[in-house]
Structure 1
Amino acid sequence: MKVLILGSGVIGVTSAWYLAKSGHDVTVVDRQSTVANETSFANAGQISPGYSAPWAAPGIPIKAMKWLIQELAPLKINFKDLDTETMLWMTKMVANCNTSDYHINKSRMMRVAEYSRDCLRDIRREINIEYDHRTQGTLQVFRTDSQVQSAKKDIQVLTECGVDHTVLSADDCLGYEPALKHTINKIVGGLHLPNDETGDCHQFVTELSKDCERMGVKFMMDTNIQKLNKQGGEIVSVSTDKGELTADSYLMALGSYSTHMLANVGIKVPVYPIKGYSLTLPIEDFSAAPESTVMDETYKVAITRLGDRIRVGGTAEISSYNMALLEKRRKNIEFSIADLFPHAADLAKAEFWTGLRPMTPDGTPILGKTNIDNLFLNTGHGTLGWTMSLGSAKFVSDVMNDKQPEIDDAGLSVDRYAK
């Protein structure tokens, strides 16, 4: 079968690997000159099944109102960029901010994320791939007693889903992240997730694409995808600035740009771009740097060790497709590393980056079949594209191969939005 994959981020390339491995003739198309050059380029570096949770949670609307008037806050809204599409998406997200939907959505996300981590381990056993990875878990740190109390709901879900975790005192946190000794007075407790991992997503995708090419995958880079062309109940071609491309099956993996492309063929997906920011810093003092990922719960900022670098990622900005790199957003993520690991790196040497996370209102990605026979979806992973990538790709590959997926498919397709 000839398969055309639209998008060469971590979702597109991992999908290409599984589809090529199962014997298909695969071509990946992207407007960038190299793979993983947009959202996958400088994400937070976490592979965190245990931290997989929807942004839509009980109490978030009230918290969001408070965050809007705080200088350092995990959520920002650029009111100049608000449009009808944005308002509709926000309305759908708020509708998911209740206990019942939160538990359903979190369990779906963890189902994909746990599977994905296992798929990643399988790939490491199968091929030699280096991406500054570590397997020392995630440490979520709490600065207030109220955060410790709020975390009990998430811990209950972790327990129900059989996810290993350990609740920690402030002093216990030092056993996992010794460099916190300099700032331990700012922490009241923590939660350690031992099965989480870290790694450079861009490096991983770059290396995996080389293995894809060895299996015959073709990469059409510097190619602008213009539209899908539908005839009857099938996609018959994809229009690009390099001409018409045809295949037997088509896989949509364009992240935030999936929404408008799919709307042209009558498929509505509530995937919206949530802007995120990151800093990448060279380590100056290794004894003062984190060992793995530290999640600062107060500011929703992840501080991740990537070899001799630190990646700091955070902030959710609602600003449609605005890609402006705003210096004022730098303060939020800069504060976390300066406050928790003040001697680890020189902030003056940081590389500042922004990207668009393709977020669904319920947090769960959209995977598998559509009502168009030869069009499949692998999109909407939000902040967890790196975490869910391998599992999503394997799941979609199985669906495209008419095989029974290895995890429950309930609630993962676009059909869940039919109501």
Structure 2
Amino acid sequence: MRVVVLGAGIAGVSSAWFLARAGHDVTVIEREPAAGLQTSFANGGQISVCHAEPWANPKAPWKILKWLAEEDAPLLWRPRADHHQWRWGLRFLRECMPARARANLKSLVRLGLYSRAQLQSLRADLHLEYDALTRGILHYYTDEREFAAALPAAEHMRQTGLDRQVKSAAECLLIEPALAHARKRVVGGTYTPSDESGDAHKFTQALAAHAVKAGVRFRYGTEVLHLDGEESCEVKGALLRGPDEDGVLRTEHVKADAYLVCMGSYSARLLRSVGITLDVYPVKGYSATIPVRDGDQAPEVSLTDDGHKLVLSRLGDRFRVAGTAELNGYDLSLNPIRCAALLKRTQEMFPHAGDYANATFWAGLRPATPGNLPYIGGTRYANLFVNTGHGTLGWTEGAGSGHAVAEIISGRRPDVDYPFCTGL
């Protein structure tokens, strides 16, 4: 089949690779000048099945209320005159019910394990280089109550097949000696030795290069204006605007046998043109990339500071700290207070690790669903498919989501127990 993939982040490029490998004729449309320049560009770097506990859980509403007045809070809701934001928020509260949160956690663990295996196969088969480290992920806690509250979720993950182990404070320091400066703060942790870290941007661009060799065409600098399909059982085409061979900006109508939407937070906007409503809302996250100053003081095991909702990953001669969540529409401006909060906490824990004066900051829009479950699968249009809504877990779930949706488009059932879409 001729398949048009809309979006060249990790979800889109992974989907394109697996579709091409399945024998399809694939074209990828991307408005940026290259692959992986939006949400996949500078995320926290973790392939973290251990982060499967959804944001929507019974503890979340009270924490959000507490954080409303704190500009540097881990999660900041900025109310807007936007009914999509309020709809998303109400559905988020519904997903906080204990039974729904437990079911979502199990689905996310299964998808994460499946995806991590697909990524490992890609790395081995294609010899991909992306500053990968396979030393696990350590969640450390500096508050006894936070540590105790995290243990039930860790147990649920173990029951679903994830090797998330509870560790004492002393064991945390043995796993990551760079925590030594903060030894009096750390009260315990959980460690998932099978999890990994790496640079998602490097991975996406490397996989895109292999996809080109496999025959995938990438059209960069091209915007998708809308899909033509309302009041029909199939999408009839996609209206694009981009440069022609002479660099002249033109509008054209492109037809294919199947269309796959992998546009992150912008997927919901596009799909409204064919009457489909996705519960995907942009959640802005921040990161700081810091040059390593002292390799012995900088962490090598990927870390999660659970109390402050920050993640840290070593990426060669850099390390990245990322976190915070801000519901503020499609705004991508950098808030200096939230940027400063990233560095403040990192310097408290690792004061000699990096050249903090030369940190570079970035913000990206995570495509979040209320229960953290991404949309993967088909729609009520026979030839329209989706792979979007991965929230903070796009890097974790990208390879597996791409493989799964390629199987679905090819008429096969993916080999993972997950609630795939069938008729949005």
Q: What TM bracket, shorter-length normalisation?
A: over 0.9
Partner deviation per Cα, 1:101-158 (whole Å, 9 max, x = no partner): 1101111111111100000111122111100000001100111110121012212211
**1:141 match:** 140
Does 2:316 match 1:307? yes
Query: Are the aligned partners of 1:255 and 1:357 in contact in 2 as well (CA < 8 Å)?
Result: yes
Gaps of 5+ in 2: 243-251
Q: Structure 2: how far apart are the matches of 1:83 and 1:233?
A: 30
> What's the secondary structure of 1:274's corresponding residue?
strand
Query: Are the aligned partners of 2:109 and 2:162 in contact in 1 as well (CA < 8 Å)?
Result: no
**1:244 match:** 253
Query: Are the aligned partners of 2:167 and 2:188 in contact in 1 as well (CA < 8 Å)?
Result: yes
Instruction: Map 1:110-259 to 2 at 5 A.
Output: 110-230=109-229, 232-242=232-242, 243-259=252-268
> What's the secondary structure of 1:168's corresponding residue?
strand
Instruction: Map 1:97-112 to 2 at 5 A.
Output: 97-112=96-111
**1:19 match:** 19
Moved more, 65-74 or 49-58: 65-74
Shift of 1:42: 0.3
Distance 1:384 1:82, change over 3 A: farther
Paired residue total: 414
Q: Structure 1: how far apart are the matches of 2:81 and 2:165?
A: 41
**2:269 match:** 260
Query: Are the aligned partners of 1:115 and 1:391 in contact in 2 as well (CA < 8 Å)?
Result: yes
Moved more, 132-141 or 322-331: 322-331
Which amino acid is the alignment partner of residue 412 of structure 1? F
> What's the secondary structure of 2:236's corresponding residue?
strand
Shift of 1:408: 1.9
RMSD between superposed Cα atoms in Å: 1.2
Shift of 1:403: 1.3
Instruction: Map 1:25-40 to 2 at 5 A.
Output: 25-40=25-40
**2:89 match:** 90
Moved more, 326-335 or 173-182: 326-335
Which amino acid is the alignment partner of residue 39 of structure 1? T
**2:363 match:** 354
Partner deviation per Cα, 1:307-354 (whole Å, 9 max, x = no partner): 111011000001011111111111222222111111101211011000
**2:420 match:** 412
**1:278 match:** 287
Does 2:297 match 1:298? no
Shift of 1:12: 0.3
Which amino acid is the alignment partner of residue 197 of structure 1? E
Q: Structure 1: how far apart are the matches of 2:67 and 2:340?
A: 14
> What's the secondary structure of 2:134's corresponding residue?
coil
Moved more, 67-76 or 302-311: 67-76
Query: Are the aligned partners of 1:141 and 1:295 in contact in 2 as well (CA < 8 Å)?
Result: yes
Shift of 1:292: 2.1
Partner deviation per Cα, 1:178-233 (whole Å, 9 max, x = no partner): 01111111110010011110000000011111100000100000001100011621
> What's the secondary structure of 2:392's corresponding residue?
helix
Partner deviation per Cα, 1:342-379 (whole Å, 9 max, x = no partner): 11012110110000000000100000111100000100
Shift of 1:77: 2.1
Does 2:6 match 1:9? no
Query: Are the aligned partners of 1:269 and 1:414 in contact in 2 as well (CA < 8 Å)?
Result: no
Moved more, 369-378 or 64-73: 64-73
Q: Structure 2: how far apart are the matches of 1:144 and 1:273?
A: 30
Shift of 1:71: 4.9
Gaps of 5+ in 1: none
Shift of 1:176: 1.1
Shift of 1:263: 1.3
Q: Structure 2: how far apart are the matches of 1:395 and 1:213?
A: 21
Query: Are the aligned partners of 1:49 and 1:113 in contact in 2 as well (CA < 8 Å)?
Result: yes
Q: Structure 1: how far apart are the matches of 2:59 and 2:335?
A: 28
Which amino acid is the alignment partner of residue 90 of structure 2? T
- TM-score normalised to structure 2 length: 0.95
Partner deviation per Cα, 1:243-278 (whole Å, 9 max, x = no partner): 111111000000100112111111111010000000
Which amino acid is the alignment partner of residue 239 of structure 1? L
Distance 1:189 1:162, change over 3 A: same
**2:245 match:** none
* Match for residue 329 of structure 1 among 313, 316, 338: 338
Query: Are the aligned partners of 1:315 and 1:332 in contact in 2 as well (CA < 8 Å)?
Result: no
Query: Are the aligned partners of 1:82 and 1:319 in contact in 2 as well (CA < 8 Å)?
Result: no
Query: Are the aligned partners of 1:366 and 1:414 in contact in 2 as well (CA < 8 Å)?
Result: no
Query: Are the aligned partners of 1:299 and 1:332 in contact in 2 as well (CA < 8 Å)?
Result: no
Query: Are the aligned partners of 2:291 and 2:356 in contact in 1 as well (CA < 8 Å)?
Result: no
Displacement over 6 Å in runs of 4+ = none
**What is the percentage of aligned positions where both structures have the same residue?**
40
Which amino acid is the alignment partner of residue 33 of structure 2? S
Q: Structure 2: how far apart are the matches of 1:169 and 1:56?
A: 27
Which amino acid is the alignment partner of residue 380 of structure 1? G
**1:389 match:** 398
Q: Structure 1: how far apart are the matches of 2:81 and 2:164?
A: 39
Q: Structure 1: how far apart are the matches of 2:27 and 2:345?
A: 41
Does 2:373 match 1:364? yes
Query: Are the aligned partners of 1:364 and 1:412 in contact in 2 as well (CA < 8 Å)?
Result: no
Instruction: Map 1:20-99 to 2 at 5 A.
Output: 20-79=20-79, 81-99=80-98
Query: Are the aligned partners of 2:228 and 2:238 in contact in 1 as well (CA < 8 Å)?
Result: yes
Q: Structure 2: how far apart are the matches of 1:195 and 1:413?
A: 29
